[in-house]
Every structure is written in structure tokens, then in C-alpha cells.
Structure 1
Amino acid sequence: MQADPRTNLSNQLADTLTNRSVSPDEKRELTITFRASYAEKARLEQRCSGVVQSDYIRARLFDYPLPHPKLVIPEVNRQAIYELKKIGNNLNQQTRAINEAVKIDSQPLTNEVKSYLKTLEELTTLLEHTRQSLTQPTVEGQRNDYQSQG
């Protein structure tokens, strides 16, 4: 069974906050700079993909847990997800209206109505799977690329 995407995001946020926390006696007040070649900078940026560079360097240098990359969803996916949510809301409203009409005997529960409700349920499931596919590969792809570089 696959975990709920909201749970995954909540866990990622909690992990990120945990990795970035600083105890009061370890307040970061100093700035450290160093020189690097263009090749080294490019390599660092590649390894950090989606992670704040200072967090990555600190984790590697002081053996802290590597921070998780930020959730990055391309703009086209965000727009598609928005539209899918709107369609899903409409399907849910239709389902609720039909169920309410059947409940108060305004609409008989015929085989045709049952079939329509089943179709609405299948469409809702398909929309949810599509929405997940728009977010999941991006997150997993970044995490796998990041971990293989570490």
C-alpha cells in the first residue's frame, strides 16, 4: 500500500526541520568562505540538487544526516494538478448530490444510477493516481540522483 502524498510531504518537512535545527548554544554566527574552481562549483551544485549548499556542506563535513532535497514540481505539473483537483471536486459534488437524492427518496437507486456512481468513483481514483504520478516521479527522481551522488 502506497503512503498518502500529504503524509510524505509532512514527513519530508519534519525531516528538513530536524536536519536544519540548531540548539541555542550552537547559534551559527560566523560566515566561512573558500575558493573553488568552476569545475568544483559545478560538482557541488550537481551534488546539492535541491538542497541548500551550506546544509549539504555542513552535513558532509560534520557527519550530520544529509538533508532531503526540496520538493520541486514543474510549473506545468502544478497547473495540471490544480485542474485535476477542480475536476475531482466536481466529481465529489456530483457523488454527494446523487447520494443525498437517493437518501431522501428524491432519486431511486436504479442500476443506471449505481453504474453512474461506480463510474464517478473510478474517475476519482484515476484522477488521484494521475495527480500522484505528476508529483511522485519528480520527488523520487531527485532523491535517487541526490543519494547516488552522496
Structure 2
Amino acid sequence: MQPDPRTNLNNELAQLLNNRIVEPDYKREITITFRVSSAEKTRLEQRCSGVVQSDYIRARLFDYPLPHPKLVIPEVNRQAIYELKKIGNNLNQQTRAINEAVKIGSQPLSSNVKEYLQTIKELAVLLEQTHASLSQPISDEE
């Protein structure tokens, strides 16, 4: 008995659908838009929970791993982080200038200079710790 060509085609199609993993194409040049109801939009936003909507839809549609939610940092923390980075840059510039002056001999490496450099290092560590604590995601429990 000869197999039905439609059965073979159906089996191939079913197998393709079961193995529908699409390799990510990193040159995303095509835009697709579609309409949803307000209820669907609300549901999509709830399901995304911090993940970019296009990434969420792509992950669900093409069986990619779901990306990690984006970090939500309060505005006050963002401003503090900005200021901390400026302070950190200033400390790095001071350290570089002192080390360069010592290197070329225009500044002796006295105990005061060593103490100042140590203080700058300690401040840099404190800045990093503060930056890390301000960058923590907001928990839903608070």
C-alpha cells in the first residue's frame, strides 16, 4: 500500500511545528505592528513584568529564553548614582594626578601623600558599595 502524500506532508508539518525554534537574527530591520484591545494590552503589560514587550513577545513566539526583567531604580536613586559617579571620577582624577606627580618627581611620596591616597581608595570603595545598594531592584513587598 502506497503512503498518502498528504499524510507525509502533515507529518512533516507537525514535526516542523513541534521543533519551531527559530534562530535569533540579530539584524532586526523589519517592524511589525498589530492592534490589541485594552484588556489584551493590560494583560500583556502584566505578563511582561519589567521585560521589554518586544523581547517578551519574541521569546513567547519563537521559544527563546525569557529575558531578565529590566532594573527599576527610583528617580531619587538615579540622581544619587549620577552624583556618586561624578565624585568617583573626581577621586580617580586626583589619584591619577598624584601618582603621576610622584612618578615624575614633582611630588615626594611623603606619609601625608600616602595617607591621602589611602583615604581616596577607602572613599572609592564606599562609593562602590553605596552605588551597589542604590542599584538594587525595587521589591514588590515594600
Give the TM-score range, shorter chain.
Answer: 0.5 to 0.7
Q: Please list the CA deviations of residues 44-101 of structure 1 after superposition, one character each: whole Å capped at 9, or x if unmatched.
A: 4333112244543553455332133234332212211111111111111211222122
Normalised by the size of structure 1, how large is the TM-score?
0.58
Gaps of 5+ in 2: 1-22
Partner of 2:75: 75
Quickly say closer, same or farther: Cα 1:46–1:112, change in 2 above 3 A.
same
Percent of aligned pairs sharing the same letter: 69
Gaps of 5+ in 1: 1-17, 146-150
**Does the residue aligned with 1:87 lie in a helix, a strand or coil?**
helix
Q: Is the 8 A contact 1:19 1:67 kept in 2?
A: no
Quickly say closer, same or farther: Cα 1:22–1:32, change in 2 above 3 A.
farther
Partner of 1:3: none
**Does the residue aligned with 2:64 lie in a helix, a strand or coil?**
coil
Say how many residue pairs are matched.
118
Q: CA RMSD in A?
A: 3.4
Q: Does 1:31 align with 2:34?
A: yes
Higher relative contact order (CA 8 A, sep 6+): 1
* Distance of 1:19 and 1:131 partners within structure 2: 34
Quickly say closer, same or farther: Cα 1:56–1:20, change in 2 above 3 A.
farther
Q: Is the 8 A contact 1:20 1:55 kept in 2?
A: no
Partner of 2:118: 118
* Distance of 2:64 and 2:42 partners within structure 1: 23
Quickly say closer, same or farther: Cα 1:45–1:110, change in 2 above 3 A.
same
Partner of 2:3: none
Partner of 1:14: none
- Read off the aligned partner of 2:74 and give its amino acid letter: P
Partner of 1:133: 133
* Distance of 1:85 and 1:122 partners within structure 2: 15
* Distance of 2:24 and 2:134 partners within structure 1: 27
